[in-house]
Amino acid sequence: MKVERSINYARAGFIKACLIRLARTRGKHEEDMITVSLNEKSTSVPYRLGRLFAVLEKAQSDTNREIKSTITSKYFSSASTTPAVVFPVLLKLTQHHIAKSDWGFKSNQAIEEIMSGIDGFPATLTLEEQGIFMLGYYHQRRANYRKKSNSEEKNEEENKKEAAL
């Protein structure tokens, strides 16, 4: 994926299959098990970093939908290998996007929720951890763009009104 700069669902599926097999053989805790969809209870730092990257990407796209060079095209590879170097820069850049966005409060809430489970950014991620990072990214990305139910939309509107006060 690094060499070809091409990430797709088939490749993510292969990574996930390998990680599930490794998790089974190691007897990991249930909250750290790889699931089919977003696992907000996961305590895995690489998984949370992947989720965080997806939220940062969404904050950027909410501000400017016609941007040609996204954080994904510039930082995905390095964020998944050396998070300690990349994430402080990305978080700083994201504050600019959040300030300009109508949905900035929602991005801030998501960032806070994800960051609450991260004590510090690891200097590097192993190949297995990079795979977990990518799964977290894709799970969060799918959750970001799924259609919300009526009750979720009402809660979101109420949160927006409270944030405006």
Residue 161 falls inside a structural domain: no
Please give the distance of CA 13 from its chain centroid, rounded to a whole number. Answer: 17
Residue 152 falls inside a structural domain: no
Residue 41 falls inside a structural domain: yes
Residue 158's CB: how many other CB atoms inside 10 A? 10
Q: What is the pLDDT of residue 150?
A: 47
Residue 37 falls inside a structural domain: yes
Query: Which domain range does residue 52 map to?
Result: 9-147
What is the greatest pairwise CA distance in the chain? 51
Point out the residues of the chain with pLDDT beneath 70.
1-7, 26-36, 147-165
Residues near 151 by beta carbon (within 8 Å), at least 6 away in sequence: none
Does residue 22 contact residue 127 with C-beta atoms inside 8 Å? no
Nearest alpha carbon to residue 93 among 129, 118, 123, 69: 69
Q: Can you tell me the distance from the alpha carbon of 97 to that of 160, in angstroms, rounded to the nearest whole number?
A: 17
Residue 155 falls inside a structural domain: no
Residue 1 falls inside a structural domain: no
Q: pLDDT for 58-84, tens place per residue? A: 888 888 877 777 888 899 999 999 999
| Domains in the chain, number | 1
Q: Can you tell me the distance from the alpha carbon of 128 to that of 135, in angstroms, rounded to the nearest whole number?
A: 11
Residue 129 falls inside a structural domain: yes
pTM confidence score: 0.72
Residue 164 falls inside a structural domain: no
Q: What is the pLDDT of residue 133?
A: 93
